[in-house]
Copies of this chain bind each other. A is one copy, B any other.
Amino acid sequence: MGANEKWAATTRTLLAENRIVMLNLIGSPGAGKTLLLESMVEHLNKEARFAVLEGDIETTRDAERLDILGVPVSQLLSGGSCHLEAKLVNHALADFPLANLDLVFVENVGNMVCPAEFDIGEHAKIAVLSVTEGEDKPLKYPLLFREASAVVLTKTDLLPHLTFNLQACRDNIAQVDASLPIFEVSAQTGDGAQAFTEWVLQQAVGYRSA
């Protein structure tokens, strides 16, 4: 077992001891990961105690956006690295009062490739793909879609202005993993955010009772 896997296992034990479920959001720069979290805050706040680990190469902008909304947030700077490593995530979790949390979201570094390769001790990876990126991406970057437990298609409000073929995208995702649930979300209009939030909460119950 490599160093990263050892730290991921340590994190899994820590999360289990505190009955916390951790989800790892992965997608390209600008896929809308932070906006997705912002759009879930109000609904989530009623149902669960949650915190966010913000992974970035540089800047603390995303963390500030969530901090303004009153979300407990810890900023991880990856030091130039293209993905978050399990050790860094494990240490960052110490920033939170773990006994008072149900759910931790990790927003990984904006990158569709490398973060999919690294276990950080999460219960599930969530692929975040904006419709502006094109319907071919699940076939071109299949590892993320093989590793993910769900796909969130973001920026659906832009569909009328794009040549994006939604059915082709669904077919391409199904070609990689036919059982993957797909959520279509516009954080701009709010459409779909509730359905994804409810799925997250259901998953959390499931992982906790497993």
Contact = CB atoms under 8 A, between A and B. Distances in A.
Interface of A: 28-30, 56-59, 61, 80, 82, 109-114, 130, 132-134, 136-137, 139-143, 155, 157-158, 161-162
A61 to B, nearest CB: 6
Contact of A113 (B82, B134, B136): B82
A161 B110 CA distance: 23
A158 to B, nearest CB: 6
A61 B130 CA distance: 19
A134 B28 CA distance: 12
Interface of A is mostly: loop
- Copies of this chain held together in the complex: 2
B30 A134 contact: yes
A139 B157 CA distance: 26
Contacts of A114: 82, 111, 113-114
11 contacts: A29-B112, A29-B133, A29-B134, A29-B137, A29-B140, A30-B130, A82-B82, A110-B113, A110-B141, A113-B114, A132-B132
Contacts of A30: 28, 130, 132-134, 137
A113 B174 CA distance: 28
Contacts of A139: 58-59, 61
B136 A155 contact: no
Contact of A61 (B82, B136, B155, B161): B136
A174 to B, nearest CB: 16
A196 B119 CA distance: 41
A61 B136 CA distance: 8
Contact of A140 (B59, B157, B158, B162): B59
A140 B29 CA distance: 9
B140 A61 contact: yes
A142 B57 CA distance: 9
Given A82-B82, A143-B80, A158-B158, A28 B136 contact: no
A142 B110 contact: no
Given A111-B82, A113-B114, A114-B82, A155 B140 contact: no
